[in-house]
Amino acid sequence: MLGSGRSGYDRSRQAGRGRNGKLIAALSWWLEWGSYDETLWADLEGTEEARVDPLPEWQWIWRAWHRLSAERPHVTQGFGVPMGGTVIEGRPGVIPWSAVRKWAEHHGLSLAEMALLDRVLLAMDGVYIQHWAAKFKARVS
Domain count, the chain: 1
pLDDT at 121: 95
* pTM (two decimals): 0.69
Q: 8-17, 36-45, 61-70 — which is least confidently predicted?
A: 8-17
Kindly tell me if the per-residue pLDDT of 8 is higher than 60.
no
Domain that holds residue 25: 3-140
The residue among 111, 107, 77, 79 whose CA lies nearest residue 92 is 77
Kindly tell me if the per-residue pLDDT of 55 is higher than 70.
yes
Question: Which is more confident, 35 or 56?
Answer: 56
